[in-house]
Amino acid sequence: MKHLLFIAIIVLAIGCDDCCHELENGQDLIGKWRVVEVGYSPGAGYITDNVEDQSSFIQFGTDHHFQSNYEELNDVHYYRILEDNGISVLELYPSKPTDDMSEQLVYKYHLSFEDNLLKLKYVYCIEGCHIGIQKVE
């Protein structure tokens, strides 16, 4: 019985680790994405600005490696995707996350597709803020 429980835990851990590389539109998360817009609310309405710097990118690698040259994200090196009530959640870390590293979480975003962009919606932004990214072909 102990062996069966151990095997079940291993299968679940492997399944969760490989989880969520395919996005809701069927596109693969792995690869390079260009930052094309940012959205924020100064308190009255929501503002969306285009990102003028065409070299700003976010890259999701295999084995949960993360790379970016976009503002504060350049110190983030690992990511993981979780599900929260049917919503994909992106978590970003400075070092490889383990189960007990929640205190090292740097950023947490809800993932959604809108207007042909993958939008990273910052979870803790009360009035809303996002980064809009587009897959580089």
| 64-85 pLDDT, tens digit each | 999 999 988 999 999 999 888 8
With contact defined as beta carbons under 8 Å apart, do 111 and 88 qualify? yes
Confidence of residue 22 (pLDDT cuts 50, 70, 90): low
Detail the DSSP E strand segments found in 15-136.
31-40, 47-50, 57-60, 66-68, 78-84, 87-93, 107-114, 117-122, 129-135
How many domains would you assign to the chain? 1
pTM: 0.77
Average pLDDT of the chain to the nearest whole number: 81
Q: How far apart are CA 93 and CA 123, in angstroms?
A: 15
Q: What is the mean pLDDT of residues 23-30?
A: 68
Q: Would you say residue 21 has pLDDT above 80?
A: no
| Separation of alpha carbons 129 and 97, rounded Å | 25
d(CA 128, CA 137): 29
**What CATH number should be reported for the domain holding residue 45?**
2.40.128
What is the span of the domain harbouring residue 91? 2-135
How deeply is 58 buried, as exposed, middle or buried, from its count of CB atoms within 10 A (0-12, 13-18, 19+)?
A: buried
Query: Rounded to an integer, what distance in angstroms lies between the CA atom of residue 10 and that of residue 13?
Result: 5
